[in-house]
Amino acid sequence: MEVSTMMSSTVQNLMNVTFDWLNSTLDVPSVRAVVFGFNIRGHLFIEVFLLVVILFLLSQKSYKPPKRPLTNKEIDELCDEWVPEPLIPSLNKELLYEPPALESLDCLPGQVSTKMSKCYNAFHKKLLESCTASLDKYGVGSCGPRGFYGTIDVHLDCEARIAKFLGTPESILYSYGLSTMFSAIPAFSKKGDIIVADEGVHWGIQNGLYLSRSTVVYFKHNDINSLRQTLEKITTENKRVKKLRRYIVIEAVYQNSGQIAPLDEIIKLKEKYRFRILLDESNSIGVLGSSGRGLTEHYGVPIEKIDLVTADMGRALATEGGFCTGSTRVIDHQRLSSSGYVFSASLPPYLASAAISALDILEKDPKLIKKLKNNIAVLWKGLSGISGLTIAGSQESPIVYLKLKKSTGSMQEDRRLLEAIAERVLKEDSVFVVASKRSTLDKCRLPVGIRLYVSAGHSESDLRKASESLKRVAKQVLGGS
Amino acid sequence: MIAIPYLTALTTYFSYGLLFAFGQFRDFFRKLIDWSKANTLQGYAPICLGLEDFYIRRLYLRIQDCFGRPISSAPDAWFDVVERYSNDNNKTLKRTTKVSRCLNLGSYNYLGFAAADEYCTPRVIETLKKYSPSTCSSRVDGGTTVLHNELEKYVASFVRKPAAIVFGMGYVTNSAILPVLMGKGCLIISDSLNHNSIVNGARGSGATIRVFQHNIPSHLEEVLREQIADGQPRTHRPWKKIIVIVEGIYSMEGELCKLPEIIAVCKKYKAYTYLDEAHSIGAVGKTGRGVCELLGVDTADIDIMMGTFTKSFGSCGGYIAGSEDLIKYLKYTCPAHLYATSVSPPAAQQIISSIRVILGEDGSNRGAQKLAKIRENSNFFRSELQKMGFEVLGDNDSPVMPIMLYNPAKIPAFSRECLKHNVAVVTVAFPATPLLLARARICISASHSREDLVKALQVISKVGDLVGIKMLKIVGVIESICVWIVIVKSCPSSTRPRASTPMVFEDQAAKVVVQKLREEGEENRRLVISEVILNEWINGSSKQNPAKVVTYQPIYEGIKGLQIVRVIMKQTQKTQLHGVKKKSFMGSQSGSGLVDMDKDSRTIREQQVSLERDVLVSPEGENGVGDPHGARAGWTVGKKGFAAGVKEQCRQVEALFRRNSLCLAMMERKLRLRSEPTHSR
């Protein structure tokens, strides 16, 4: 108790002494200020003190985290430590598939095997003649891109011939089928534009969509209602949509399913929502329609309604390269804006002349298409009731696409089953069919299957034999289910 | 790197500005007219829009006759160009039936396999008959014939890699392979001038893309260090893998890749390498195996080798060569292998046969002859063009030589005038080159005869005068005199050309040199020459150049044939001086191996206005030795004091000179060439 009073009195004393000293040193009237009745002495001193503190703090640099860039030594260490992944993942056994090498490429029956590959229309002799003549005159390669003396007169003739065949104003030749679509799409669709595409489009188109950097919306595979909903949604949701370029990208006959796109209905939607159509006719030129002019003829739609038609000539036209056809404006734009056209060497001239004669033959000989259609029907009939497999494609489609009735759940497992069938069919009956392969890059998630490409070169007995063989092997492999 | 002279840049910008202004003016009226008409769009946005469309309509269409000229024969040394006419101001061009026989300086027919070949053509036709023009299916769907497997084996052994895979188109090879190898979290470091197919492939892969300055290994290293240290953007995770993509010969510059240096950098930082040999495979190297062979790089050091068959082999398609596992993986997953039509069998046969010819497996030495011929032709043509004063890009041995045109108006002028004289040249403008750097590109072939080339040079020289693209005329004088110095100082006294040797020099400066030489004694000659050169160069032969020598000083005396002179130039006329500086890089490039000018050339570029410079005159690089026409002096302008750093290299050159008395003979021969009244003047 005493101690505490002593302490307090000492403190009081000390304070008094301090204030006295302050009073004596700062004995000016203003020092003695009265605030709320209290006599505060020596406040000027405190204010000056505070001011000094503020000035001191202000003079200090504001706090910044120290910037310390990596020293060279540290970078060296980081570089030493960094371990890259291997360039390619380790290979497993599945990767080591080697496709069978063929000794000859005859689509005609009675040779090594009954080949079910993409030569839809077999026209041989005249093609060979025109190719030989062209090889003699122009050599093999064109040795330059189209802009720089790689344009050979047959290229121009071929472009004109294709345009005439399809009834369009102009067309443009690409030197490879795969590059046609992935060059043409980015030429017309840029960042911000809208593309509505089928989810089953092949990789060439997928790549084009990606490279265009446009807004891409997929609709359900070959589903007209899904397309309608997608278009409706885009048109109502986006206010600026009128100012953007809008496209629908479809394939005439889907490579990945063999189905035919319902063009007549798509045209109605297109006109309602004002979208342009980019149509890939790779599998339908020379096949669909009464004279082989493709999907537009098949549905009786005037070709002007389609803004851009592309096609791979490595199918029914039995040559290589691709073309794109449409209005003069659309085609001319590609001649400087389409990277696969500008930056690539042009199509070897003999392949262009092969395309010309293929079209000539197609126009002169409508029997070929009739034969092909007949063949498709024969194969369909032959394959009806095949166990464990169903035909996914449309009735007129040249791609007869067999998929598993009951998927095992994993795409790899499915493929293994199908490959087993294909292998046995080739081994036991010399019928060459292939299970569809999917690249790891391919975004298409449609079920895998066995693709049969019907050709006019097949005879009915070939096809019967093929379907019998498939039926038998499928039953053995997949069981009777 | 191309440095544009300021004045040229200004006039080029002005020309484009003018074209742009007139284009916009016309578009304005076009809009007015369209507005009065009914709207044809009916609710669609216009399908072509933007500056690209504007460029095509208002700029490109005016000169479109210079591009895409159709031909009606094989693209051999001479070909038939179909004449075209237009009735609507070049908007559409119509073909006529008339053709004109022209000398072909445009096609990539490096080895002359484009035309019918006694060995290849019969085999190709045989193949066509056996197989058909097309396999009509992809490689895995029955498009693989025995021919394709054979081709892959041939290609692999030709490029000296364990395995190869072939595709039907070169462009697709690049743009479909890169997405397979690289993906998210990977880094692609690409040369700034890589081909569009690589750019597209890189974009399609989804990997991050960084660019390094064209062909500068030191910058590549800088980028690599920075990227490895920083890791992926935002997350800063380490990169999964890094790939460096370069080309063997850059098609628009004609430059050889600095492969050894780049490989060294990549190895140091564990980056994978991807070499695109589209233009170099078959065209360069002793046995035609491309830049690796030419520059002495082991192919095992390159992870992925890509190339095309369109150029040297006269066919179509492309290949990827690499380790067996890599190729197996590609065969499993590459979309171009799984989905695209396989190489047409006749084209495959053409490639096989042409490789056989190149390797001499056909039983003749035509392949070796072709390779020697293209090298000789290219080096002859390049050195002649440079002598004439054209600004030629690229390196010795490269069959691609671009001549800079810059101004847009010179593009059609050069192209049309050459065509009038039956020489077909390629002019390149946007989008294949940057807007300002329009150029004419010449591709030399082994099928060109010496007469062809001489005719071409005559025409190009004439047209070059007319169009005004001999931008480096002054250099020609300097060069000839430099050679003089080299000869006078480095020949053994017995073979040394005497001052009284009759010389037919057309250059005024050279005449004075000869005159002075006659007057002076032996020991003073060198000093005299340098004085005369500089005085004449700067004051005499070119009156319009006001730069003046204030002082000169032989710095390094020890070496025969080498001298270093310090010059102080007035900076009053930037263009001229700029031209000189620019040439200095080129001089250093063509003097390959003498002086590593990477760093120095950059410092020069940075310090565009500094007064004192050293001029290093060097006699000849290693490349010139053994090359009858490439013998050419290189010279370099560098910062003050730069020359001292070169002394070490000088010593090496001296040693080289001692070893190769051959080099001197080359010089002499060159002098003789010059002294004859040749075609070039």
Q: Read off the pLDDT of residues B464-473 as tens digits, 9 standing for 90 and up.
A: 889 888 765 4
In three-state secondary structure terms, B401 is strand
Q: How many helices (H) and strands (E) does chain A have?
A: 16, 15
Predicted confidence band at B623 (pLDDT cuts at 50, 70, 90)?
A: very low
Does residue B431 have a cis bond before it (omega within 30 degrees)? yes
Whether B40 shows a pLDDT value over 90: the answer reads no
For residue A250, the 8-state DSSP code is E
- The answer to whether the Cβ–Cβ distance between A131 and B346 falls below 8 Å is yes
Give yes or no for A161 touching B (CB within 8 A).
no
Domain boundaries, chain A: 125-364, 367-478
Query: Quick one: pLDDT at residue A157?
Result: 93
Whether B510 shows a pLDDT value over 50: the answer reads no
Cβ contacts of B372 within 8 Å, gap of 6 or more? none
Query: Quick one: pLDDT at residue B452?
Result: 92
What mean pLDDT is predicted for residues A207-235? 91
Give yes or no for B52 touching A (CB within 8 A).
yes
Cα distances (Å, whole numbers) of residue B362 to A386, B117, B352, B373: 54, 12, 11, 18
What residues form DSSP beta bridges with B511? Answer: none
- The answer to whether the Cβ–Cβ distance between B179 and A207 falls below 8 Å is yes
pLDDT single digits (tens) B236-273: 899 999 999 999 999 888 888 989 999 999 999 999 99
Predicted confidence band at A288 (pLDDT cuts at 50, 70, 90)?
A: confident
Of residues B69 and A408, the one with the higher pLDDT is: B69
Give yes or no for B135 touching A (CB within 8 A).
yes
Least confident range of A141-150, A417-426, B216-225: A417-426
Whether B321 shows a pLDDT value over 90: the answer reads yes
Query: Quick one: pLDDT at residue A147?
Result: 87
Distance CA B489, CA A108 (A): 78
Whether A93 shows a pLDDT value over 60: the answer reads yes
Query: Quick one: pLDDT at residue B496?
Result: 38
Residues 478 through 517 of chain B touching chain A, CB cutoff 8 Å: none
Distance CA B177, CA A345 (A): 18
Distance CA B585, CA B127 (A): 50
Distance CA B268, CA B289 (A): 25
DSSP assignment of B125-169: HHHHHHS-S---SBIIIII-BHHHHHHHHHHHHHHT-SEEEEES-
Whether B125 shows a pLDDT value over 70: the answer reads yes
Least confident range of A151-160, B213-222, B426-435, B665-674: B665-674
Question: For A211, which residue in chain B has the nearest alpha carbon?
Answer: B204
Residue B9: exposed, middle, or buried by beta-carbon count in 10 A (0-12, 13-18, 19+)? middle
Predicted confidence band at B411 (pLDDT cuts at 50, 70, 90)?
A: very high
Least confident range of A95-109, B429-443, B582-596: B582-596
Percent of chain A whose predicted confidence (pLDDT) is above 70: 88
DSSP assignment of A300-367: T--GGGSSEEEEETTSTTSS--EEEEE-HHHHHHHHHH-HHHHSSBPPPHHHHHHHHHHHHHHHH-TH
Q: B272, B241 in Cβ contact below 8 A?
A: yes
Whether B597 shows a pLDDT value over 60: the answer reads no
Query: Quick one: pLDDT at residue A160?
Result: 93
Q: A297, A289 in Cβ contact below 8 A?
A: yes
Q: What is the mean pLDDT of chain B?
A: 72
Question: What angle (nearest 5°) sits at the alpha carbon of residue B337, between those of residues B335 and B339?
Answer: 60
DSSP assignment of B194-232: --HHHHHHHHHHT-EEEEE-TT-HHHHHHHHHHHHHH-S
Query: Quick one: pLDDT at residue A53?
Result: 95
Predicted confidence band at B498 (pLDDT cuts at 50, 70, 90)?
A: very low
Whether B587 shows a pLDDT value over 60: the answer reads no
* Chain A hits for B152, Cβ within 8 Å: none
* Chain A hits for B350, Cβ within 8 Å: 140-141
Least confident range of A180-184, A297-301, B592-596, B635-639: B592-596
Give yes or no for B374 touching A (CB within 8 A).
no
What residues form DSSP beta bridges with A277? Answer: A248
Percent of chain B whose predicted confidence (pLDDT) is above 90: 28
Whether B17 shows a pLDDT value over 90: the answer reads yes
Provide the token pair at B423. Answer: 């020489």
- The answer to whether the Cβ–Cβ distance between A128 and B70 falls below 8 Å is no
- The answer to whether the Cβ–Cβ distance between A329 and B335 falls below 8 Å is no
Query: Quick one: pLDDT at residue B271?
Result: 92
Query: Which residue's entry shows tokens 């703090």?
Result: A57
In three-state secondary structure terms, B459 is helix
Whether B476 shows a pLDDT value over 50: the answer reads no
What mean pLDDT is predicted for residues A391-414? 82
Whether B640 shows a pLDDT value over 50: the answer reads no
Whether A446 shows a pLDDT value over 90: the answer reads no
Give yes or no for A272 touching B (CB within 8 A).
no
C-alpha distance from B405 to closest chain A C-alpha (Å): 17
Of residues B648 and A454, the one with the higher pLDDT is: A454
- The amino acid present at A260, given as its one-letter code, is I
In three-state secondary structure terms, A35 is strand
Give kind and range of the element (H or E) at residue B446.
none
- The answer to whether the Cβ–Cβ distance between B106 and A144 falls below 8 Å is yes
Query: Which residue's entry shows tokens 């034999």?
Result: A465
Distance CA A3, CA A11 (A): 12
How many other CB atoms are found less than 10 A from the CB of residue A230?
Answer: 20
Give kind and range of the element (H or E) at residue B649.
helix B647-659
Query: Quick one: pLDDT at residue A100?
Result: 64
Residues 321 through 350 of chain A touching chain B, CB cutoff 8 Å: 329-330, 332-333, 335-337, 339-340, 342-345, 347-348, 350
The pair phi, psi for residue B52, each rounded to 5°, is -60, -45
Q: How far apart are the first and last CA of chain B?
A: 29
How many other CB atoms are found less than 10 A from the CB of residue B323?
Answer: 16
| Whether ipTM exceeds 0.90 | no
The pair phi, psi for residue B69, each rounded to 5°, is -65, 125
Of residues A10 and A120, the one with the higher pLDDT is: A10
CA torsion angle B404 B410 B411 B415 (round to 10): -100
Query: Quick one: pLDDT at residue A412?
Result: 79
Give kind and range of the element (H or E) at residue B556.
none
Whether B132 shows a pLDDT value over 60: the answer reads yes
CATH code of the domain made up of A367-478? 3.90.1150.170
* Chain B hits for A96, Cβ within 8 Å: 328
Domain boundaries, chain B: 53-104+367-469, 120-359, 472-671
Of A151, A207, A351, the CB nearest to B69: A151
Predicted confidence band at B611 (pLDDT cuts at 50, 70, 90)?
A: very low
Whether B477 shows a pLDDT value over 80: the answer reads no
Give yes or no for B126 touching A (CB within 8 A).
no
Whether A402 shows a pLDDT value over 60: the answer reads yes
CB pairs under 8 A between A and B: 363
Residue A365: exposed, middle, or buried by beta-carbon count in 10 A (0-12, 13-18, 19+)? middle
How big, in percent rounded to 5, are the helix, strand and coil portions of chain A? 50, 15, 35
Would you tell me the crossing angle of helices B6-36 and B574-590 to the nearest 10 degrees? 100
- The answer to whether the Cβ–Cβ distance between A339 and B69 falls below 8 Å is no
Give yes or no for A244 touching B (CB within 8 A).
yes
Distance CA B428, CA A343 (A): 12
Percent of chain A whose predicted confidence (pLDDT) is above 90: 21
Whether B628 shows a pLDDT value over 90: the answer reads no
How many other CB atoms are found less than 10 A from the CB of residue B311?
Answer: 32
Least confident range of A181-185, B378-382, B644-648: B644-648
Predicted confidence band at A99 (pLDDT cuts at 50, 70, 90)?
A: low
- The answer to whether the Cβ–Cβ distance between B137 and A453 falls below 8 Å is yes
pLDDT single digits (tens) B168-194: 888 999 988 999 999 889 999 999 989
Widest CA span in chain A: 130
Helices (H), B37-133: 50-54, 120-130
Domain B120-359 in CATH 3.20.20.450: no
Provide the token pair at B398. Answer: 């490269």
Q: What is the mean pLDDT of chain A?
A: 83
CATH class assigned to B53-104+367-469:
alpha beta
* Chain A hits for B172, Cβ within 8 Å: 176, 178-179, 340
Residues 127 through 146 of chain A touching chain B, CB cutoff 8 Å: 127-128, 131-132, 135-144, 146
**Fold held by A125-364:** Aspartate Aminotransferase; domain 2 (3.40.640)
* Chain B hits for A432, Cβ within 8 Å: 142
Distance CA B268, CA A481 (A): 60
